[in-house]
Structure 1
Amino acid sequence: MLKRLVPALLVLPALLLTWAGPAAAHGRSGEADARFAQTIAGMELTVVVRASVRVPAPLQVDVVAHTPGPGGRVDLAIRSVEDGGSAAGAVRIEPGRPGMYPAMLSVDRVGPHELEVRAGGERSVLPLTVLVSSTPLWEVVVYAAFACAAVALIGAMAGALLSRRAVAGGFAGGFVVATVVAFTAGVLSPWFAPTPPRGAPPAPPQEATPLGRPNAQPLVEVEPGRPARGSEFLLRVRLFDGSTGHPVDDLVEHHAALSHVVVTSQDGSYFRHVHPLRTAPGTYELRLRAQAEGRYRVYAEFERTDAGGQLVTGDFTVGDPADEGDAAEEGTPPVGSADVLAVEPARPVAGTPVRITLDTGVTGLQPWLGMAGHLIVRSRDGGYLGHVHEAGSMTSGSEQPPDESVAQYGPRLEFTFSFPRPGRYLAWIQYARNYEIVTVPRVIDVGAEGSAR
């Protein structure tokens, strides 16, 4: 009997490893890093807060400089919302050297915190929840049952050696029961309620928000109200709850940022994909410099807790209104290199998926904002903006995004996109090479269904 039980003890753990799979909880897990892209002091940074194994303990923070610009000191500080405990650190970005700059901060408790980022007189305060993974109940049951099975197996073997058949039989029965319990718990693990990590906020009652939260109402403005050509100006996006009038301050990390902002001139010659600073509850700001006079379009993408993704728009004008005219509409659109960027079919048709492939000529591309590449498409009139990710790097919501330091993509980046209607579109593909962001523009003309290709 014992000869048959020993192989079973060895086989059952292997079955559990290959069969059982715990359900993933909604939102960031205790094993996931937190990422915040920030456009600050002329630099494009991603602040990566590494997952905590235990607390209290040092907290690793990596500042990834994608566009280091003038460089300089970046101050970091973390503060507990519950007890006010804080810790500070800093990194110094070298001018013209993209890369990863590590820092260490100390945390002594889990739960809600604020991460403050300062550079060049600018400041951003980012909401951060420090989490530590909790062992799920099913896993505790499995390990406890296997421990009992091991004890029972030893007892059964000892009883057999001492010729105590009753003792051996009793322990053998205990071994069978324990292994069955372990196997059953492992097989049923996907149906167990996920164990929230330590520090996670309590889930709201189901009846509290049966339809989710409403979309945020935006106010997009610039200071000064009409910037001069070549001058620096402040772009501000303020978000309100339409039902209460209160600021919307419950944005969640969405593709490694609280908010993504795209700013383009009407002719497409000016393009910025940036990430504003949270300067106050519901208020996101960044500093830009316009290159030419004319009308500019602003698109802000974000996700509110329990409300899904949202895209809001606005516009502003640079220069003297007397200088505005058709020239702003007829400027030179961006043009990409035709020999490295392929569109299939060459004459796309509205409503039909199109494959867009970019040959970067370089292997070892790094992810940016959790993806190997980004395709941003804008209609000629500016009334439509689309944003899709490189097909090979798409990850499910339960998986950890690839680390910025891992160069594992390229040389080809592939996108699938469907244009909503005929017309001329301006497109930009962005990817990271040696940490630095590369932008490839292109004009794509899209025909109507049944048109010649």
Structure 2
Amino acid sequence: MHTGLRITVFAAALAATFGTAYGLGSTFGEASPERKPTAHPHVQGHDTSPPGGLHSSDGGYTLALKTPTVPAGRDTGLRFSVVADSTGRSLTAYKPEHGKELHLIVASRDLSVYRHLHPVRAADGTWSASVDLPRATGYRVFADFTPRGGDGLTLGTDLTATGPSTTSRTPAPHRTAHVDDYQVMLHGDLVPGRPGELTLTVTKDGEPVRDLEPYLEAYGHLVALRSGDLAYLHVHPNGEPGDATTRPGPDVSFTATAPSAGTYRLFLDFKHGGTVRTAAFTVRAAAAPAGAPDTHPENTAGHGH
């Protein structure tokens, strides 16, 4: 992950590149081999690189999932490694970002389930984490990391949770999320090809939360996933704790550019009262901001990390 006062990710000029991939559905069983794309530079600021997470291999590294299937509804171990293509060896030298060498995201293909995990690395480069996935369906695993001396990468691969099959749809568009006693409201729009500011306002029992706690060196982390192909956008707040200008709530702001028009799920991790909670939203990125009022508030269960 990459920190900056204002981080804009992924330009819309590449939207057409992913048009054919946009309709990808769930993949069950072990993931089939993916074509290795040409490596691209990762640049902070007005990033012109394509969205992350669409391939298991990129930049000379491959995400190797050792547990491609897990049972649904049960806490189980997830094991994987990041392999250097040039040597075939697991990567062990990482540059820590926001206090961690690697951040792991697991999301269902319909984007109704989201987990932000922080796995533990063994000396041989094998990572492990516990995960409990509630439904038997297809999932996508994202590894967000920076090799020591290299550029930041986000690799993605498929995971299947086994059990009685279930179906679900991506939640309808909404700009208000409820988690425990908290309400989070989303202001601003994702606009293809143009940076826009997103502000999330946190309240508890109707009162503004003005004492958010730093979590992984920030007051909030925002992950955006595009519905369909699950293209991955990861941005950080405009400011950070201790910079003498950023307040600990109730507002946390981000700058982001959508790579294309479409539906996106946004997941905000924030910490208060010693607990990390996740607020989730569904938004549409259109040629012009719709500006429609929220008509689909969502009650979401929080998950500690």
TM-score, normalised with respect to structure 1: 0.45
8 Å Cα contact 1:366-1:408 kept in structure 2: no
Inter-partner Cα distance in structure 1 for 2:99 and 2:226 = 26
SS of corresponding position for 1:262? strand
> 1:359 is aligned with what amino acid?
T
> 1:218 is matched with which residue?
63
Inter-partner Cα distance in structure 1 for 2:289 and 2:219 = 33
> 2:226 is matched with which residue?
379
> 1:279 is matched with which residue?
122
8 Å Cα contact 1:341-1:356 kept in structure 2: no
In structure 2, relative to structure 1, the CA distance for the partners of 1:334 and 1:256 (3 Å cut) is farther
> 1:301 is aligned with what amino acid?
D
Question: RMSD between aligned alpha carbons?
Answer: 2.6
Inter-partner Cα distance in structure 2 for 1:298 and 1:318 = 12
Alignment of 1:191-202 (within 5 A): none
Q: 1:336 deviation in Å? A: 5.0
Q: Which has the larger radius of gyration?
A: 1
In structure 2, relative to structure 1, the CA distance for the partners of 1:257 and 1:233 (3 Å cut) is same
Deviations 1:293-316 (A, max 9, x none): 110111001111111211111111
In structure 2, relative to structure 1, the CA distance for the partners of 1:258 and 1:332 (3 Å cut) is same
Asked if residue 259 in structure 1 is aligned to residue 102 in structure 2, the reply is: yes
> 2:276 is matched with which residue?
437
2:248 aligned residue (384, 409, 429): 409
> 1:216 is aligned with what amino acid?
Y
- Give identity over the alignment, percent: 27
Q: 1:337 deviation in Å? A: 1.6
> 1:317 is matched with which residue?
160
In structure 2, relative to structure 1, the CA distance for the partners of 1:230 and 1:342 (3 Å cut) is closer
Q: 1:452 deviation in Å? A: 6.3
> 2:205 is matched with which residue?
none
SS of corresponding position for 1:391? coil
Inter-partner Cα distance in structure 1 for 2:114 and 2:290 = 31
TM-score, normalised with respect to structure 2: 0.66
> 1:343 is matched with which residue?
187
Q: 1:351 deviation in Å? A: 1.2
SS of corresponding position for 1:444? strand
Inter-partner Cα distance in structure 2 for 1:318 and 1:333 = 24
Q: 1:230 deviation in Å? A: 0.9
- Runs of 4+ aligned residues of structure 1 deviating over 3 Å after TM superposition are 331-336, 450-453
In structure 2, relative to structure 1, the CA distance for the partners of 1:451 and 1:275 (3 Å cut) is closer
> 2:10 is matched with which residue?
none
Q: Which has the higher contact order (CA 8 A, sep 6+)?
A: 2
Deviations 1:335-359 (A, max 9, x none): 55278423324xx431122221112
In structure 2, relative to structure 1, the CA distance for the partners of 1:434 and 1:349 (3 Å cut) is same
Asked if residue 359 in structure 1 is aligned to residue 201 in structure 2, the reply is: yes
> 2:238 is aligned with what amino acid?
A
Inter-partner Cα distance in structure 1 for 2:289 and 2:276 = 37
Flag the structure with higher helix content. 1
Q: 1:279 deviation in Å? A: 2.2
In structure 2, relative to structure 1, the CA distance for the partners of 1:273 and 1:334 (3 Å cut) is farther
Inter-partner Cα distance in structure 1 for 2:116 and 2:106 = 7
Asked if residue 270 in structure 1 is aligned to residue 113 in structure 2, the reply is: yes
SS of corresponding position for 2:239? helix
Q: 1:250 deviation in Å? A: 0.8
Inter-partner Cα distance in structure 2 for 1:295 and 1:259 = 23
Inter-partner Cα distance in structure 2 for 1:354 and 1:291 = 34
Q: 1:375 deviation in Å? A: 1.0
8 Å Cα contact 1:370-1:402 kept in structure 2: no
8 Å Cα contact 2:84-2:90 kept in structure 1: yes
Inter-partner Cα distance in structure 1 for 2:234 and 2:266 = 10
Inter-partner Cα distance in structure 2 for 1:421 and 1:283 = 35
Asked if residue 390 in structure 1 is aligned to residue 237 in structure 2, the reply is: yes
SS of corresponding position for 2:278? strand
8 Å Cα contact 1:238-1:282 kept in structure 2: yes
Q: 1:331 deviation in Å? A: 4.7
> 2:185 is aligned with what amino acid?
L
Inter-partner Cα distance in structure 2 for 1:319 and 1:368 = 33
What is the number of residues matched between the two proteins?
221
> 2:226 is aligned with what amino acid?
S
Give 5+ residue unaligned stretches, structure 1: 1-213, 394-400
> 2:75 is aligned with what amino acid?
E
> 1:343 is aligned with what amino acid?
H
Deviations 1:63-120 (A, max 9, x none): xxxxxxxxxxxxxxxxxxxxxxxxxxxxxxxxxxxxxxxxxxxxxxxxxxxxxxxxxx
In structure 2, relative to structure 1, the CA distance for the partners of 1:219 and 1:382 (3 Å cut) is same
Q: 1:237 deviation in Å? A: 1.9
Give 5+ residue unaligned stretches, structure 2: 1-58, 178-182, 203-207, 292-305
> 1:369 is matched with which residue?
216
